[in-house]
Amino acid sequence: MSLPLVVALHSSAASGRQWQAYREASAGRLNWITPDLIGYGRDETWSSSVGVTLDQEVDRLAPHLLLPGQSFHLVGHSYGGAVALQFALRHPRAVRSLTLYEPVRFAALRQAGLQSEWREIRSLAARVRQRSLAGDWQGAARAFLGFWSGRPEGELDARTVMSVGARCPKVCADFDALFNDTVPLRLLGALQMPVRLLVGSESPAPARAVAQVLELAMPQADLQELQGLDHLAPLRASAGLQSLLTAFAQQEHLLAA
């Protein structure tokens, strides 16, 4: 039997390298494809003068993933989880299962009438954009990282702040892509593949609320809360989370065999 194929999509301000530890830990058990999303990693095709949509993210991935006879288990974190859902909507036959850690389909908050969480995430995006427009890239990064990590801005790692600051133009575009999402929740509910939703108990309210809305909208979805973890947990690649993010793909692969 061939090894299960996992396609893993990274979060905003990261790259496909986010999944390197997962690839190494599952060597001999899983095959991995870890592409860079638009504007990240080795992708040099995006200009900050233009926007981006979730469909454009999918269109860029599709030629590399939609190969004859190939299907795969799709994993996504945060923005990568939002793109993964869009890919599954557009190309459902290629996706054998979905494992999503806090997929940030923020438009689901608006559709579900969760105004407090919607305003909170719009406020974060506005702070990141205002600081970016003022040329304060490190300030934009501190706002972004502080919100998602739950740490005071002054306590953030300086090297991480500099790295994320350089990517803030695309982070702003990612927010726009998420806010401009018009896919009705009922279409997500029509997806047929197995779905596992993971959420950290320490994550900000908007991310947790999106996962809860998606669970209600998707009858085939299973939601699991992970105690003590926050939104950035997949970036730290703990052994426990590695197991959770990969076990579902292995399980579903065996069931389908």
173 found inside a domain: no
Q: Which helix (H) or strand (E) holds 82?
A: helix 79-90
* C-alpha closest to that of 253 among 46, 32, 30: 30
118 found inside a domain: no
CA distances for 235 relative to 2, 13, 38, 222, angstroms: 28, 11, 19, 22
Res. 257: pLDDT tops 60: no
Pair 165, 156: CB distance under 8 Å: no
pLDDT digits (tens, 9 = 90+) for 48-75: 778 899 999 999 999 999 999 999 999 9
Instruction: Enter the tokens of residue 90.
Output: 């557009």
Whole-prediction pTM: 0.96
141 found inside a domain: no
CATH number at residue 33: 3.40.50.1820
86 found inside a domain: yes
What pLDDT sits at residue 247? 78
- What is the layout of strands, in order, in the sheet containing 95-101? 31-33, 5-9, 72-77, 95-101, 195-200, 221-226
171 found inside a domain: no
* DSSP for residue 2: P
Residue 255's pLDDT band, with cuts at 50, 70 and 90, is low
122 found inside a domain: no
pLDDT digits (tens, 9 = 90+) for 121-166: 999 999 999 999 999 999 999 999 999 999 999 899 999 999 999 9
Could you give the CA distance from residue 175 to residue 188 in angstroms, rounded to a whole number? 20
135 found inside a domain: no
Could you give the CA distance from residue 234 to residue 1 in angstroms, rounded to a whole number? 29
The count of domains in the chain is: 1
What pLDDT sits at residue 42? 86
The mean pLDDT value of the chain amounts to 93
Residue 7's pLDDT band, with cuts at 50, 70 and 90, is very high
Q: Which of 94-103, 189-198, 230-239 shows the lowest mean pLDDT across its residues?
A: 230-239
Domain that holds residue 251: 5-112+181-256
154 found inside a domain: no
